[in-house]
Structure formats: structure tokens, C-alpha cells
Amino acid sequence: MSLFSELGLSQEIVSALTDLGYEKPTTIQEKAIPQILSSQDDLKAFAQTGTGKTAAFSLPIIEQIDSKNKNTQAIILSPTRELAIQIGKNIQEFSKNLKNIHITTVYGGASIDDQIRSLKKGSQIVVGTPGRTVDLIKRKLLKLSEIKWVVLDEADEMLNMGFKEDLDQVLKVTPKEKQTLLFSATFPREVDAIAKNYMHNPVEISAGKKNAGADKVSHEYYLVSERNRYPALKRLADVNPDIYGIVFCRTRRDTKNVAAKLIDDGYNADALHGDLSQAQRDIVMEKFRAKHLQLLIATDVAARGLDVNSLTHVINYKLPDQAENYTHRSGRTGRAGKEGISIALINNREKNALKPIEKKIGKKFIQKQVPNGREICENQLFKLIERVKDVEVNDQQIESYLESIDTQLKDISREDLIKKFVSIEFNKFLSYYEGADDLNGDDSKERRRSGDENFTRFYINLGKMDGLNPAKLMGLINENLSKRDVEIGQIEILKSFSFFEIDKAFADKVLQGFEHAEFGGRAVIVEITKKPKGGRSRSGKRGGFGGGRKSRGDSNRSGGGGYKGRSSSRGGKKGGFGGSKRNRR
Ligand code: AMP
């Protein structure tokens, strides 16, 4: 791999890059920089977010800008305000050692007067969103008659967002003699049409598969029923206490709903979508960048321009319509040499959507099982231990209490003390996931077990107070039912009584079987009962674990340390808290 100095960039720029920690050019930079420096040809570049494309087009432009000429020489169009600001900021950083180079960033949702003032001082490079750029052109405050470079960044996204007319208007007022650089992650017909209309024999380059970021991403899918999509999302968040990711939804409505539920359930989450005001979006993005939010629920468009390098996960709550957009999403993790996981939550019908994506990414999805309660509790327990190990003790503050603490705890052994401290937090996890359902499986399986028509619901006069848990209840059913392999549906253990469902064909057998049953010396009463309205209640009713424990924006829900240990029982070998729901004897 070459060095930036070998690509034809001046020492001033190379040293600014060194200050930024850019050691070696990325693939797209290696290809684009010498090309743009040495040729006037138009350029069509396939490049995803995160490949280093900003530097790929801006460095050769900065290198060639005539700093003595105050007219605008380069216009860079980008789909969102955030991306425009990011590009403007990058260019400032890249050109910090060069004198008399001025950059103005123009975008909607902010004072136009400040932008006009900056333009009037003379800016050789203007970065803008299409709408505001056209506005300023119309007001004759932005003159593009001496333009040498036009950059269309994320061209596919600009067209997706309905900026076709604005692009036409900008391109119309630029001189014929110029170099057009078009960067796009995908090349649907509309982007090709722009390339055809406005570019002349463009050279094509691609970051291709060498994109180091993409190689570090593993792609996983979880097959769940529609009703279990949200509970599965929560489990994925719970089994990864250090999760820092974007959850992609397809619509604003979904985005709002999922975020509202997560917030309600006590997660550090928030939504990013087009209905938010610019100020609201800024606040959400800042909180996410600062890691005060662990999960950002976003639409594809809203997440554009959010430059975050350390995402652990990208979760496709719903897969995008087009395979190309999946690559946009997954390319947001596995950046800067880190590993990343891109997850798709899919139901049976959506399975077909995986094939075209696999073709596009050149990798296979791996099917994973939604973690059970035990795996989650294990991960959370180890995370807790890690937090205990890492916590900073303020000796001065705690000193005066030590004696009295010591007196109060003196009769408890070290072993018991550890157990007790850990249990303060851990008990919440245990009790939330006790009896938790297996969320794996497609719709048909779900229907079979849904209990609506195929199951009879029973009341039993035993509950948690009696030491009953799902495993014990299944044992009790097995004991008293003289039939093998009877399907057991939902189990709901309450304080002093419980409910369970059994294949309705065996309803009579259950009643007979429990006639003389005993549990812990107590007579057991089992009766047929009505199903609650709306069918199964558990997966819908329960909050996320930790529900209501912490308020929105609380960054400490799961610590924030660096524990990376994984459950050794992945794959469910050790069995879940809910155990198997099949009556096996
Ligand atoms: P971009 O695709 O331009 O949005 O860049 C993605 C991220 O990679 C940004 O945070 C850049 O600062 C960073 N980056 C770009 N090029 C390099 C490089 N050659 N070395 C290290 N980091 C880079």
C-alpha cells in the first residue's frame, strides 16, 4: 500500500493527514486521488459510507485550488445537512496548513444570513445540501460560473430524497469545462441517468471488495415471528450489555414506535427520523455520538451523515426494500479496523430477501438463535462482575462509613457477601427472564403454539410463593399426565397461582390426571379457565427487563465498561430458564 505522499499530495496536506491519524490511504483514496490529480476526466466512483470517500474527492481538489482566486471553484453537494457539515469540517482539517483557502457550508434549517456572510468573504470551496444551494444560486449569492469541480456525494441518496430537480438546476449553471466527480454506493437507473446527462466518458473506479471495513462485518439473521420481532430486539440488546448500534426501520412510524417502546422499557435509546426538527436531530445525534445513547432507532435517510466509527452492531429491524441499501446500513459497523455485526430480524416471508443481499455483499448470512434467558443472565452477570472490578472507590468519601458498614456486615461470610452484592442487580434479570419464552421460529410455528384455538388454558392453585417455576410445572404435568409428547403452550407463573396451556385434545386427561395431585404436601387444584383477551399475554405485556428502572438518557444502564466475555452456553446447551415446553418423559 502506498503513502499519501506517494499519491502526489503536497507536504502541507500530508502533515495535516498525519495529525488526523490518517496513516495510509484507503482503497478509494488510492484510486481516486492520483486520478483526479492527473486528469480532467469525469469520475464515477462506487463507494460506500465509511470507505474514506470524503478525503478521496476533497484532497485532490484542495491540492489544486487556486488560493489567490477568491471565486468559488468547487461545489460539493451532499444529501443531508449532517453530511455537508462533516465534509466541510473534514476539508477545514485537511487544509489547515494551507493559506487563504476558504470553505463555506450551506444547508437548510440554519440561518441563511451567516452563510451569506461567509460566502461574501469569498469561498473557493462550497459544500451544500441541494435545496439551500439552489436557493443561494437563485438569490445570486452563490456564483458557480468559475466552477472547476462539481462533486455529487452519495448521489443515490440525493436522488432517493427527491433532489433530482435541484441537482439539475445546480448542474445547469456550472460551466461546460469542469470535472464532475460522482460518488455513489449504488448505481440504480436514476444515478446512471445523471451520469449520462452530465458526464463525459467518465472513468470508473470502485472501492470494491477491498473495502477493509466491509470485510470485518459478519452478517447474521434471526428467524422470528412478527409478534416476536420487538421482544427479540430487546433480547439482543440484553445479551450484549455493551451494545452501541443503530436499529434501522423502514418507516418513520416504525422508528417512532420501536424507539418509544425501548425508552419505555428502560433502554438508552432514541429515534432519528424526518419528523424531528433540525435542533431535535442535532440533540439526538450528539447524545448518540457521546454514547449517552446505546441504541439509535433510525430511518435510512435520517442516519445519513452520522459519522460514528465504533458501532458494535447494526440491526435491521426490517430489511430495506433494496439490497443496495442493506450495504449502506451494514457498512456503518466494522469500521476503522474494528469488527462489526450486522443483524437482520426476519420472518418466514422475508427469508427470500436474504439471497439478493448475499449476492451483493458476497457473504452468507449466518442463522443465529435468539438468546434464551440463561444466556442473557450469564452475560449480564459477567458484565456486573466486570463493573464491580472496574469501579473506582472514593476512599475519602467512604472512609467515615466503613466502621458502621463493617459492624452491620460482620456476621456475613465473604462468600455470602459477594453473592448478596451481586444479587442486588442480578435478581432483576433472573426474575425477568424466568420462564421466558423461546422466541425462535417462524410464523407457522408460532401459530401452532399460539394457543388461540389449539390449546386449552388451565388455572392451577400454585405460584411462585409455592416455589413453582416453569420447569417444575412441566415436571408436575409430566408426572400427572399419562400421555407422552403432549404439546404445552404458554406458561404464566404468578405469585400464588399460575396458568398453563395444553393441546386441547388432552384437556380431559389433564383434569383427570390432576384430580389427586399433590405438590409439596398441598392438594393441587387444576381448572379450565378462559383465555385472556388478545391471546397470549406474556410476550406483549412484559416490559424490557429493567423496565422503568432507569430514565431516558441514563447512560449507566449497563455500565459502559469494556467487558467482552461471551456466554459459554451459546446455543442453549445449558438450557434456558424457560426450559423446553414439550412434555417429554
Ligand atoms: P468517509 O467514508 O469519508 O465518511 O470516512 C469514514 C471515516 O474514516 C471518517 O471518520 C474518516 O475520518 C476516516 N478515514 C478516512 N480516510 C482515512 C484514512 N486514510 N485513515 C484513517 N481514517 C480514515
Per the CB < 8 A criterion, the answer to whether 333 and 313 are in contact is: yes
What are the cell numbers at 325?
A: 441499501
One-letter amino acid at 527 equals E
One-letter amino acid at 234 equals K
Per the CB < 8 A criterion, the answer to whether 288 and 280 are in contact is: no
**Which letter, b or e, does each residue of 388-413 get, where b requires 16 or more Cβ atoms within 10 Å of its Cβ?**
eeeeeeeeeeeeeeeeeeeeeeeeee
What are the cell numbers at 501?
A: 396451556
Q: What is the pLDDT of residue 506?
A: 83
Show the beta-strand stretches assigned E in 417-554.
Answer: 455-460, 488-493, 498-503, 518-519, 522-523, 526-529
Residue in 410, 385, 350, 372 with CA at minimum distance from that of residue 563: 385
SS3 525: coil
Locate cell 416453569: which residue?
Answer: 470
Q: What is the tens place of the pLDDT at every residue in 275-295?
A: 888 888 889 999 999 999 999
> Closest ligand 1 atom, CA of 53?
3
| Distance in angstroms (rounded) separating the CA atoms of residues 556 and 462 | 37
Low-confidence ranges of the chain (pLDDT < 50): 209-214, 444-450, 534-585
Q: What is the pLDDT of residue 157?
A: 82
- Measured in Å, residue 16 CA sits from the centre of ligand 1 at 13
For ligand 1, atom 18, the nearest C-alpha belongs to: 22
Supply the DSSP symbol for 337: T
Beta strands across the sheet bearing 366-367: 269-272, 295-298, 245-248, 313-316, 340-346, 217-223, 366-367
What are the cell numbers at 497?
A: 397461582
Start-to-end Cα distance in the chain: 63
CB of 309 closer than 6 angstroms to any ligand 1 atom = yes
Residue in 246, 391, 217, 215 with CA at minimum distance from that of residue 308: 246
Q: What is the pLDDT of residue 535?
A: 43
For ligand 1, atom 7, the nearest C-alpha belongs to: 50
Q: What is the pLDDT of residue 346?
A: 94
Helices H / strands E in the chain, number of each: 23, 20
| Distance in angstroms (rounded) separating the CA atoms of residues 46 and 44 | 7
- Measured in Å, residue 328 CA sits from the centre of ligand 1 at 16
| CB-count burial class (<10 Å; 0-12, 13-18, 19+) for 267 | buried
> Closest ligand 1 atom, CA of 50?
2
Radius of gyration for the alpha carbons in the chain, expressed in angstroms and rounded: 30
Domains of the chain: 4-207 (3.40.50.300), 217-372 (3.40.50.300), 374-433 (no CATH), 443-585 (3.30.70.330)
> Closest ligand 1 atom, CA of 48?
2
- Measured in Å, residue 15 CA sits from the centre of ligand 1 at 16
Q: Rounded to whole angstroms, what are the CA distances from 353 to 157, 252, 281?
A: 21, 21, 31
Q: What angle do CA 172, 177, 183 make, to 5 degrees?
A: 70
Partners of residue 314 on adjacent β-strands: 246, 342
Choose one of 51, 61, 181, 183 to mutate for the ligand 1 pocket test, by most ligand atoms within 8 angstroms of C-beta: 51
Write a three-state SS string for 138-158: HCCCCCCCCCCEEEECCHHHH
Q: What is the pLDDT of residue 276?
A: 86
- The kind and range of the H/E element at 374 are helix 373-390
Per the CB < 8 A criterion, the answer to whether 82 and 304 are in contact is: yes
Choose one of 14, 18, 22, 85 to mutate for the ligand 1 pocket test, by most ligand atoms within 8 angstroms of C-beta: 22
